[in-house]
Amino acid sequence: MKTSATIAILFLLFASVAQAADLAEQMDRLAKPYIDSETVVGMSIGIIQGDKTVVRGYGELSADDSQVPDGKTIYEIGSISKVFTGLLLADAVVEGRVSLETPAEDLLPEGFSMRRSEKDQPIQLRHLATHASGLPRLPDNLKPADPYNPYADYTDQRLAEFLAGHQPNKQPGASMEYSNLGAGLLGTLLAFERKTNYESLLQERIATPLKLVDTGITLNAEQQKRLASPHIAGGTPGHTWDFDALAGAGAIRSDVDDLLKFAQAQLDPPAGKLGAAIDVAWRVQQKPLDKNDFAMGLGWHVARDGSTRWHNGQTGGYHSSLFVSRKLDAAVVVLTNTATGEVDALAEQLMRMLAGAEEKPREFAKQLEVAPAKMQRLAGKYQLAPGAVFTVSVQDDKLLVGLTGQPMLRVYPRSETVWFYKVVDATLTFQVNDSGRSVSVELFQNGVRQTAKRVEKSE
């Protein structure tokens, strides 16, 4: 005969399972429009609410792999890497190796130098972690050999050349300007201080202590198989990104399972120095300097509610969102293999849902359907300028357009002859003859109209 205590435990267990099932149902309801509208190809979502954790997957890994992503699917997390970099700074502070006020120039190795602003104010480490350094978003000598992998060949040498030649024109701490350069420099400086590289520092100080088994930069063969294929908006294949000297700005790859462990550590920091560092990074370290600024911890943006910490990230084929609230004892992770900021709205919806708000599924504009036969009449090559040819083709009932030297991108119909891009603000208008076959196409972008005539002889 079951005791009353046993019955109570079973009741709580069943209640917890029912609550998790209800949470999963709400997640599905809010996520479904993003898949149905083809806004994203594949997506993994994780939620923490008190003692409940739910992970769900949606869509597919790619057009060639219909497998549904899950909590172990690996994605590039882009600028969420900055949160890890901020925590590495907090870790160094707790260890007594640096302070938040340590001048960045003090950690430069031999052969590196930095100029100060005209007021002779050094850039401090806290400035780099809170986007208040006055450094530009990107260095002016970032000139990648491969534009689809823009950070891969930005080495320590190039960073040294930039720092030696750059004359800051803004006083550190006077304004906030988002800077990949600043965050990347911070990660590099912290690695210099430990006489190691960013990837090794990340593993030693954060990933291994928190048991983040799939969080890092270089993937082994087994992890590579779990890396979701990258896409850009519209489902066109995208590109993975590699980092060298600026790894701290966006190099990390991870999965939902690991990021939920990381989020849980923010909600309930472990005992010891790492937990103390998490609290240092969590605290507001920079108040807004302009009405449009967010307050910041170290790497963290502080939401307008003053409680929630968040960051998002995007690379050449992925987008990520991470929200954590100690007040709600809740967290949301959204990872997708499509480079589109649209999913940030989903992460915010999920966070509001956890706060008790009634959230309705997002409604995307219904896409006009154009018969494949009519699309075929637009297919062909169009001369825009010498050496610049538009190639228009139909693949899997989708219209794809590529300019010489650029990838094929999907375009979407406003009518049978007017099509638009989702990845850039541009429109293509096809002029057709009496038989419906196009004879030219007009590109409208940035207020400029250019006409490209069909290369082949039209009917």
pLDDT at residue 459, rounded to an integer: 43
- What per-residue confidence (pLDDT) applies to 367? 79
Give the per-residue pLDDT at 457: 53
CATH number at residue 397: 2.40.128.50
Res 102 pLDDT > 70: yes
Q: What does the DSSP 8-state code read for residue 147?
A: T
Which of 4-18, 206-220, 249-263 comes out lowest in average pLDDT?
4-18
- Short-list 266, 281, 255, CA closest to 323: 266
Q: Are residues 202 and 243 in the same domain?
A: yes
Residue 94 has pLDDT above 90, yes or no: yes
Residues 107 and 221 both lie in one domain: yes
Based on the fold, state whether residues 437 and 331 are members of the same structural domain.
no
| Residue, of 7 and 1, whose pLDDT is higher | 7
- At 227-276, the pLDDT tens digits run 999 998 878 889 999 999 999 999 999 999 999 999 999 999 999 999 99
How far is residue 391 from each of residues 404, 413, 452, 453, measured CA to CA in Å? 8, 17, 11, 11
Are 350 and 380 part of one and the same domain? Answer: no
- The mean predicted confidence, pLDDT, of the chain is 93
319 sits in the region (left: phi over 0; alpha: psi -120 to 50; else beta) called beta
For 333-377, the pLDDT digits (tens) are: 999 999 999 999 999 999 999 999 999 999 988 878 899 999 999
Q: Number of structural domains, the chain? A: 2
Phi and psi based region of residue 418 (left: phi greater than 0; alpha: psi -120 to 50; beta: remaining) = beta
Give the mean model confidence (pLDDT) for residues 426-450: 93
Please report whether residue 88 resides in a domain. Answer: yes
The token duo for 431 is 């002029």
Judged against a pLDDT cut of 70, whether residue 11 lies above it is answered with no
Asked whether residue 199 falls in the same domain as residue 316, the answer is yes
Residue ending a domain, among 354, 382, 398, is 354
Do residue 315 and residue 403 come from a single domain? no
What is the reported pLDDT for 236?
Answer: 84
Same domain, 342 and 382: no
Q: Where is the domain boundary, 299, 325, 354?
A: 354
138 is written with which tokens?
A: 């990107």
Strand order in the sheet with 301-302: 52-59, 42-49, 330-336, 319-325, 309-314, 301-302, 295-296
Identify the CATH number of the domain in which residue 330 sits: 3.40.710.10
In a domain, 60, yes or no: no
**At 322, which amino acid appears?**
L
- Rounded CA separation 339/236 (Å): 10
Shared domain for 390 and 349, answered yes or no, is no
Angle between helices 4-36 and 343-354 (to 10 degrees): 150
Is the Cβ–Cβ distance between 131 and 302 less than 8 Å? no
Averaged pLDDT for residues 109-131? 92
Q: Residue 397, class by beta-carbon neighbours within 10 Å (0-12 exposed, 13-18 middle, 19+ buried)?
A: exposed
The pLDDT assigned to 120 comes to 82
Tell me the pLDDT tens digit for each residue of 288-345: 999 889 999 999 999 999 999 999 999 999 999 999 999 999 999 999 999 999 999 9
Burial, 369: exposed, middle or buried (Cβ in 10 Å; 0-12, 13-18, 19+)?
Answer: exposed
- Structural domain boundaries enclosing 384: 372-454
Q: Are residues 281 and 349 in the same domain?
A: yes
